[in-house]
């Protein structure tokens, strides 16, 4: 069986059972890529202190901040904005972004995450 437990009406995933995948941000645990009827993916990402500035040409990412250092920020193009747990930010395609500081985020990606659409400057 895949990373989700499926029934006729719903899909359940346990993020603790999904192995982390290295990414420009740190380590991402990605769910629902294998669910054809779901239009996106959900990630729980542990962001390292040295996250890399990157962008997507097609993907929209919505970050919900679960845990953050007190001085955590998001770089969005040339702007740095402070963030804290409980906040959420939508990042449209073409926006260069990176997290500054250690944090844990829930990321909703639409359409489904595609590693070929991850561009570094």
Structure letter (DSSP) for residue 17: G
- The Cα-based distances of 49 to 13, 116, 117 in angstroms read 27, 24, 23
Look at residue 1 and tell me whether its pLDDT is greater than 80. Answer: no
Query: What are the backbone angles phi and psi of residue 62, rounded to the nearest 5°?
Result: -120, 115
Helix (H, G, I), strand (E, B) or coil at 33: coil
Distance CA 31, CA 14 (A): 9
pLDDT, residue 106, reads 98
Domains and CATH numbers, the chain: 5-113 (2.60.120.10)
pLDDT tens column, 30-83: 999 999 999 999 999 999 887 999 999 999 999 999 999 999 999 999 999 999
pLDDT, residue 49, reads 80
pTM flag (> 0.85): yes
Q: Is the peptide bond before 18 cis (omega within 30 degrees of 0)?
A: no
């Amino acid at each position: 069986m895949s990373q989700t437990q499926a029934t006729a009406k719903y899909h359940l995933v346990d993020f603790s059972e999904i192995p982390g995948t290295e990414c420009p941000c740190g380590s991402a645990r990605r769910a629902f890529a294998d669910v054809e009827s779901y239009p996106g993916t959900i990630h729980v990402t542990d962001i390292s202190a040295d996250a890399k500035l990157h962008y997507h040409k097609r993907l929209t990412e919505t970050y919900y901040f679960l845990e953050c250092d007190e001085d955590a920020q998001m770089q969005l193009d040339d702007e740095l904005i402070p963030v804290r747990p409980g906040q959420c930010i939508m990042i449209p395609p073409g926006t260069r972004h990176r997290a500054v500081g250690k944090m844990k985020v829930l990321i909703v990606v639409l359409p489904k995450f595609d590693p070929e659409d991850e561009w570094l400057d």
